[in-house]
Structure 1
Amino acid sequence: MARLSDAQVEAYGRDGHVTADWRLPAETIEAMRSALDKLVDANGHMTTDNMFCPHLRKAGTQGLEGDDAWLEFARIPEVLDMVEQLIGPDFLLWGSTVFGKPANVGKETPWHQDGEYWPIRPLASCSAWIAIDDASPENGCLRVLPGTHRNRHILLHHRREGEDITLNEELCDPSVDYTTARDIVLEAGQISFHDVFLAHGSAPNRSGRRRAGFVCRYMPTTSVWDRRLGKALEERSGTVEFAKRDLYLVRGRDVSGQNTVVTDR
């Protein structure tokens, strides 16, 4: 049964992340791998480190050619059941990313908080990180700083430039203890959930194995997708589109009454 235990839900509240016992069946992972091959073939102009919103047919400033298959993966009932345990019965899908992290050349993702970039007010979101491949320290698995979500605010970041990183904002807050870092080691089909305020990152992939993952972003509908703020943030980032983003109500109702959602695809 796809359900988090009471202890796992408690751990998510305490640490900001949890890995489920339930995992996707092998045939679903094979379907994801086939969809990833198709996605890469359709978007030969792009690096595969970060492929934003493959669930959309045309995704923002990247010009990613998406596929409906990814929308269906983001609606897998068992995954939604566990998300509901963490953020309540009313939530929408607002984003997704395929992290392709290729063998030998996969880039570093600096320590950061996702909420630094997202137009959600009040800021609340749960990310479901689905391992398409096995993820280990050798191929650059997700790393987290447990408990950095607890104060519910954005920590100090600074700008970092470089061709060998996936984003240009890096955590630099003096209050953070980096010695507490945990590696989120996953086998293909396993799922890790993390909170929007949790500081996380990943090392570069210097191994001979790809480390692909599919991340689905869910927002409780007590919050609002602020399209005006989204426009300002997309101008700042230059890589994602927020102002006209399609939102998919995947559980319950829009509690805020202010989110324009798509329910028919």
Structure 2
Amino acid sequence: MLLNASEIEQFDRDGYISPVSVLKNDEVAGLRDQLETVEARQHGALYPEQRSKSYLLFKWLHDLVQDPRILDPVAQLIGSDILLWNTLFWIKEAGSNSFVSWHQDTKYWGLSSDQVITAWIALSDAGIDEGCMRVMPGTHRGEVLSHEDSYHDDNMLTRGQEINLEDKEMEAVYMPLKAGEMSIHNYRLAHASGPNIAADRRIGISMHFMPPDTRQIVGNWDCAMLVRGQDIYSNFESTPIPACDFDPEAVAFHKKASKAVNEVLYKGAAVNDAKL
């Protein structure tokens, strides 16, 4: 699953790579089944607080973020020592109006490094009709762009944060994925996604990796999971290893971790709708 020289060059130049094949069909089916089994017990959906830091709640996700097929290309881009900061579920129901406005994650995550990257795994097809991600190449370089908080009801982002890029829409690149594929992008890259007008759900998981010298510069406390190599900096508290789904110790830690992430994401916001 290693990236070739042209893919690494593209990542440096444009800020993204897509698609990268990761999971086999039976693996995707098994993971989706585990997720949807939990949802079925909860009236058909994850609770909002279960979207973030989800690797602490689901043993299968805790295992997935350590899969060499994911970490090998990540290591090529940020080095052999890797921390996982967060995971997020991005689920758009069939026919949903949910969307993600143009934004740069670096604006809100409070992380000091320019080398934080997102690996986005599709557990169902994520084409244009399903509302796949689109990116604005090269925006991971230079100053962070100006954002405004819109708090739109259908916006999946915490604050509805948005960059006005209407005049550059023609430059956007779509990143459609088949189930089992992933995309990788620098968290400074401007990205967005539209509604799902297809017949199936669009299920994605974003995994956010960073080098261990990264610091949390907005919040007073934060945590991360060492997924490869070593961490000689100890800037983040280590997360517990769940023995099973909803392991009590991990669930208690997740509550603290989710609260900390929420405080960082809403720092300076006029309204706190607590979508996470």
Q: TM-score range by the shorter chain?
A: 0.7 to 0.9
Q: Which residue of 2 aligns with 1:222?
A: 213
Query: Structure 1 residue 259 and structure 2 residue 236: aligned?
Result: yes
CA displacement at 1:38 relative to structure 2: 2.7
How much is the aligned-residue C-alpha RMSD, in angstroms?
2.2
Cα deviation per residue 1:16-38 (whole Å; 9 max; x = unaligned)? Answer: 10024433122221122012203
Partner amino acid for 2:228? R
**Aligned counterparts of 2:80 and 2:46: Cα–Cα separation in 1:** 36
Please, which runs of 5 or more residues in structure 1 have no aligned partner? Answer: 58-66, 232-242
Structure 1 residues 261 and 75: alpha-carbon distance in aligned structure 2, compared to 1, 3 A threshold: same
**Aligned counterparts of 1:161 and 1:263: Cα–Cα separation in 2:** 34
TM-score when scaled to structure 1?
0.82
Query: Structure 1 residue 7 and structure 2 residue 13: aligned?
Result: no
**Aligned counterparts of 1:180 and 1:161: Cα–Cα separation in 2:** 26
Aligned partners of 1:20 and 1:191 also within 8 Å: yes
**Aligned counterparts of 1:158 and 1:97: Cα–Cα separation in 2:** 22
Aligned partners of 1:120 and 1:225 also within 8 Å: yes
Query: Structure 1 residue 192 and structure 2 residue 183: aligned?
Result: yes
**Aligned counterparts of 2:65 and 2:91: Cα–Cα separation in 1:** 17
Q: Which residue of 2 aligns with 1:157?
A: 147
Q: Which residue of 2 aligns with 1:19?
A: 18
Aligned partners of 1:155 and 1:173 also within 8 Å: no
Aligned residue for 1:19, secondary structure, equals strand
Q: How does 1:62-141 map to 2 (within 5 A)?
A: 67-141=58-132
CA displacement at 1:224 relative to structure 2: 1.6
Aligned partners of 1:135 and 1:187 also within 8 Å: yes
CA displacement at 1:148 relative to structure 2: 0.6
Percent of counterpart pairs with the same letter? 30
CA displacement at 1:55 relative to structure 2: 1.0
CA displacement at 1:209 relative to structure 2: 1.9
**Aligned counterparts of 1:38 and 1:84: Cα–Cα separation in 2:** 33
Structure 1 residues 257 and 20: alpha-carbon distance in aligned structure 2, compared to 1, 3 A threshold: same
Structure 1 residues 158 and 186: alpha-carbon distance in aligned structure 2, compared to 1, 3 A threshold: same
**Aligned counterparts of 2:90 and 2:211: Cα–Cα separation in 1:** 24
TM-score when scaled to structure 2?
0.79
Cα deviation per residue 1:144-164 (whole Å; 9 max; x = unaligned)? Answer: 11111022x321001112212
Q: Which residue of 2 aligns with 1:237?
A: none
Partner amino acid for 1:37? E
Aligned partners of 2:124 and 2:178 also within 8 Å: yes
Aligned partners of 2:133 and 2:191 also within 8 Å: yes
Deviates further, 133-142 or 206-215: 206-215
Query: Structure 1 residue 148 and structure 2 residue 125: aligned?
Result: no
Q: Which residue of 2 aligns with 1:181?
A: 172
CA displacement at 1:206 relative to structure 2: 2.0
Cα deviation per residue 1:163-217 (whole Å; 9 max; x = unaligned)? Answer: 121121101379x733210111111111100001000010111222211111111
CA displacement at 1:253 relative to structure 2: 1.5
Structure 1 residues 20 and 6: alpha-carbon distance in aligned structure 2, compared to 1, 3 A threshold: farther
Between the two proteins, the alignment pairs up a number of residues equal to 238
**Aligned counterparts of 1:118 and 1:188: Cα–Cα separation in 2:** 28
**Aligned counterparts of 1:21 and 1:52: Cα–Cα separation in 2:** 23
Q: Which residue of 1 aligns with 2:28?
A: 29
Please, which runs of 5 or more residues in structure 2 have no aligned partner? Answer: 243-276
Partner amino acid for 1:13? D
Deviates further, 250-259 or 137-146: 250-259
Partner amino acid for 1:129? W
Aligned partners of 1:90 and 1:255 also within 8 Å: no
Partner amino acid for 2:231? D
